[in-house]
Amino acid sequence: MKRRIYLWGGVALLAVWVLAVGGIWLARAQRMTAEKTITYLEANPLADRSDEQRATAIAGMADRVNRLTFEERQKFRFEGRLREWFEELTPEERLRYLDLTLPKGMKQMMDAFNEMPPARRKQIVSRALVDMNRAREEIGGRDISGTMSDANLQRMVDEGMRSFIRDANAETKLDLQPLIEQMQSIMQMAR
């Protein structure tokens, strides 16, 4: 009788381990990575596709980008292929893609800033301010109103501000304040 209990106990324990290993394997296989997203991008070129096929490919791309973690999303963006793909889109397709991906991306960015140590956050803000000052000097007295009227840029700014107000904690808002003020200054130059 005891042998039977031990035998069934061993079988049950083995079954639990098999399920656990299978679950871990399945979770890893379904986890979206920058590499998988690039593979999808390359396997679904937009040229010579019908409007419906293009819409399906864009929705699939947006779904994959939205499933990326913040770190994987950064790797994917720095890969450079996204910009080329984005330039192949029509203006309407670009707006649709941004509608599908911007809210999640901005939330991820604010969450990352919220979790970041204050010293690291300040370092990033300082570097961004230097870059923005350099860009401002390059602009000089030139009229840049045409670049600021772009609907895509405006959508990114609007979503970024909504996410900043909604998702950033008080400490993050305080640390990012100089960056926001600099952005406002540059946008006023554009008017």
Sequence spans of domains, the chain = 1-30, 117-191
Contacts of 13 (CB under 8 A, 6+ apart): none
Answer with the residue of higher pLDDT: 179 or 9: 179
What pLDDT, on a 0 to 100 scale, did the predictor assign at position 159?
Answer: 80
Q: Calculate the CA 101 to chain-centre distance.
A: 7
What pLDDT, on a 0 to 100 scale, did the predictor assign at position 50?
Answer: 93
pLDDT tens, position by position, 119-173:
888 888 888 888 877 777 776 655 544 443 367 677 777 788 888 888 888 888 8
What pLDDT, on a 0 to 100 scale, did the predictor assign at position 67?
Answer: 94
pLDDT tens, position by position, 24-50:
555 454 588 989 999 998 998 888 899
pLDDT tens, position by position, 59-112:
999 999 999 998 888 888 887 788 888 888 898 898 899 889 988 888 888 888
Please answer whether residues 34 and 72 qualify as being in contact, where contact means their C-beta atoms are separated by less than 8 angstroms.
yes
What pLDDT, on a 0 to 100 scale, did the predictor assign at position 6?
Answer: 62
Cα→Cα distances 38→80, 100, 101, Å? 10, 18, 16
Greatest extent of the chain over all pairs of C-alpha atoms, in Å: 92
| DSSP character at residue 68 | S
What pLDDT, on a 0 to 100 scale, did the predictor assign at position 12?
Answer: 57
pTM above 0.75, yes or no: no
What pLDDT, on a 0 to 100 scale, did the predictor assign at position 149?
Answer: 38
What pLDDT, on a 0 to 100 scale, did the predictor assign at position 144?
Answer: 47
